[in-house]
Amino acid sequence: MIVEVIGGADEVPEVRVADVDDLARLHLAVGALTDEDVDRALREAGLGRLAEGDTGLLDVAALRAAAEPQATAEDWAQRFDGMVEQAVEKGWTADDGASLQVHVEPAASA
């Protein structure tokens, strides 16, 4: 799954969740935007925020709410829960487990 933050209409950053059925990998893809713009867009979308360096924090409940309506796999909810459990086991959480730590990568459309 990918959370994308890219330049939108009138240069207002757009946040969208893509590849929701691919739960083997989760990352934040960022277009040609400043860290401040990305952080603001994530916060305004209610999906999370930037941390330091190349790390983002995505709110688990908000991510699920944004992704689940797009999911096509019948077992998606169980696989999403498994992805979160794996992140907890590996210590890839923050905010007492309410957020997942993810890598920030350049967006393909950037």
What is the rounded CA–CA span in Å between residue 26 and residue 103?
8
pLDDT tens figures, 38-55: 999 999 999 999 998 789
Q: Give the residue-averaged pLDDT of 89-97.
A: 89
pLDDT tens figures, 11-21: 778 899 999 99
- Cα angle at 59 between 58 and 60, to 5 degrees? 110
Structure confidence at residue 110 as a pLDDT band (50, 70, 90): very low
* More confident: 31 or 49: 49
What is the rounded CA–CA span in Å between residue 104 and residue 76?
24
